[in-house]
Amino acid sequence: MPSTFFIPDPEGQVPSAEGYFGAFGGKFIPEALVAAVDEVAVEYDKAKADPEFARELDDLLAHYTGRPSALTEVPRFAAEAGGARIFLKREDLNHTGSHKINNVLGQALLTKRMGKTRVIAETGAGQHGVATATACALFGLDCTIYMGEIDTRRQALNVARMRMLGAEVIAVKSGSRTLKDAINEAFRDWVANVDRTHYLFGTVAGPHPFPAMVRDFHRVIGVEARRQLLERAGRLPDAAIACVGGGSNAIGLFHAFIPDADVRLIGCEPAGHGIETGEHAATLSAGEPGILHGSRSYVLQDDEGQITEPYSISAGLDYPGIGPEHSYLKDSGRGEYRAVTDDAAMRALRLLSRTEGIIPAIESAHALAGALEVGRELGPDGLILVNLSGRGDKDMDTAARYFGLYDTDAEVAADEAGTAEIEGDAK
């Protein structure tokens, strides 16, 4: 019986055996990690061919995660988008509150198959960290999460969640103290502890096989949404829209639609304060090809290959790289990427909250802002599918400060609790 929720790419066209999507991808890693990364590739290939792996993962995705996730039409929100119909793929309703759990459960099963007892992971907004800590609790694995120091403050709720789940959370103080530096530190840990440790990488970047494997675990998003939308709207969407940081929720949504040439695939990158200000994390819009974290892809860098510090109000999108398959989709023209500012994302976050009673993650709000733009471009006959990749609970402190939702006393109290620097990060 074919599996229901674990639906790896049936084409097998990309990447190449060396992990290349066109000119992007590959495996730029230190020798000390070559054996471990090769082991992941071999074990993943074995798992893919093993019906027992698919059965176990399907069971978890159905009864633990709660798949399939809902598809919700949002007419009151869409009224602001030129009358186009908008449907949200509700990955925010998964257990732990985002799409990240799809990949984490797959790799956690793989960790068990490899006989490893410890998992490390990086996290930006904390959603991947929470999902990883959750899976480690479920499977009885030791868990260490690396998180940039700035992100531990702006996503303090998720730090508490990870610790409640039994994970060790390490605040990374090097570099820009955000996601990129958390990944650097996780790689350093992995090199030193590779014998018993799996690096449960959280996005579709990194060395081969991570971009393809993580994509496969998220592919269910688009497969489900495509079927659900055909049932509900009777046709395919004009556009499938998702936010892109590293790009995992976007590739998960896009992948099933790649053969549907009439479906535009639109990724929304964080423009921060505006690309022209230099304070952004819009890698595909403003970057150049280079090597970061184990693969060749677009990268935000200077003329001598130093990685530049990104900025976004969203901790989950605050990353100067992007998965190589997105670089491939961009250069081949199959994918379109546009940049969405902090302000546009925050307006969309408030609009969805007030018109539909759904508070999205700030990450996902970038996709919603993109949908408002695309809806106006398409007009009233438009049909748009948006991946609502995560829920906004974790972002309430940032949002409350942005919109001034705290009573003064509460704001002072929060400042005294050591979160005073959030203001500077968020505005």
Partner 1 sequence: MSGNVRLLDDTLAAAKAEGRSALIAYLPAGFPTVDGGIEAVKAALEGGADVVEVGLPHSDPVLDGPVIQTADDIALRGGVRIADVLRTVREAHAATGKPILVMTYWNPVDRYGVERFTAELAEAGGAGCILPDLPVQESGPWREHAEKHGLATVFVVAPSSRDERLAEITAAGSGFVYAASLMGVTGTRESVGAQAEDLVRRTRATTGIPVCVGLGVSNPAQAAEVARFADGVIVGSAFVKRMLDAPDDAAGVEAVRALAGDLAKGVRGRA
- In the list 292, 346, 362, 368, the residue contacting partner 1 (rule: CB under 8 A) is 292
Which window, 189-197, 311-319, 351-359, 407-415, contacts partner 1 (CB under 8 A)?
189-197
- In the list 7, 14, 36, 41, the residue contacting partner 1 (rule: CB under 8 A) is 36
In the complex with partner 1, which residue's Cβ is closer, 33 or 133?
33
Cβ 291 to partner 1, closest distance in Å? 4
Neighbours of 67 (CB within 10 A): 21
Any contact of residue 407 with partner 1 (CB under 8 A)? Answer: no
- In the list 99, 180, 198, 326, the residue contacting partner 1 (rule: CB under 8 A) is 180
Q: CA separation (Å) from 384 to 57, 78, 272, 354?
A: 30, 10, 24, 20
In sequence order, the 6+-apart residues with CB closer than 8 A to the CB of 323 are 203, 204, 205, 211, 215, 246, 247, 248, 251, 297
- In the list 77, 87, 146, 187, the residue contacting partner 1 (rule: CB under 8 A) is 187
Longest distance between any two alpha carbons in the chain, whole Å: 59
Any contact of residue 18 with partner 1 (CB under 8 A)? Answer: yes
In the complex with partner 1, which residue's Cβ is closer, 94 or 327?
327
Any contact of residue 195 with partner 1 (CB under 8 A)? Answer: yes
Any contact of residue 32 with partner 1 (CB under 8 A)? Answer: yes
Any contact of residue 416 with partner 1 (CB under 8 A)? Answer: no
Cβ 188 to partner 1, closest distance in Å? 5
Any contact of residue 162 with partner 1 (CB under 8 A)? Answer: no
Any contact of residue 34 with partner 1 (CB under 8 A)? Answer: yes
In the complex with partner 1, which residue's Cβ is closer, 196 or 354?
196
Cβ 264 to partner 1, closest distance in Å? 32
Cβ 116 to partner 1, closest distance in Å? 14
- Supply the angle between the helices 362-378 and 342-356 in degrees, to the nearest 10: 90
Cβ 316 to partner 1, closest distance in Å? 19
Let me know how long the chain is. Answer: 427
Which window, 64-72, 191-199, 377-385, 418-426, contacts partner 1 (CB under 8 A)?
191-199
In sequence order, the 6+-apart residues with CB closer than 8 A to the CB of 19 are 25, 26, 27, 207, 208, 209, 211, 212, 295
Distance CA(380)–CA(217), nearest Å, equals 34
Which positions are catalytic? 100, 122, 389
In the complex with partner 1, which residue's Cβ is closer, 301 or 341?
301
State residue 365 phi and psi, 5-degree precision. -65, -25
> DSSP labels for 263-292?
SEEEEEEEEET-GGGT----HHHH-EEEEE
- In the 8-state DSSP scheme, what is residue 306? P
Per CB under 8 A, contacts with partner 1 among 293-312 are: 293-294, 299, 301, 303-308
- Supply the angle between the helices 100-113 and 51-60 in degrees, to the nearest 10: 140
| Peptide bond between residue 68 and the one before it cis (omega within 30 degrees of 0) | yes
> DSSP labels for 224-254?
HHHHHHHHHHSS--SEEEEE-SS-HHHHHHH
**Residue ranges in contact with partner 1 by CB under 8 A:** 18, 26-32, 34-36, 174-175, 180, 184, 187-188, 191-195, 288, 290-294, 299, 301, 303-308
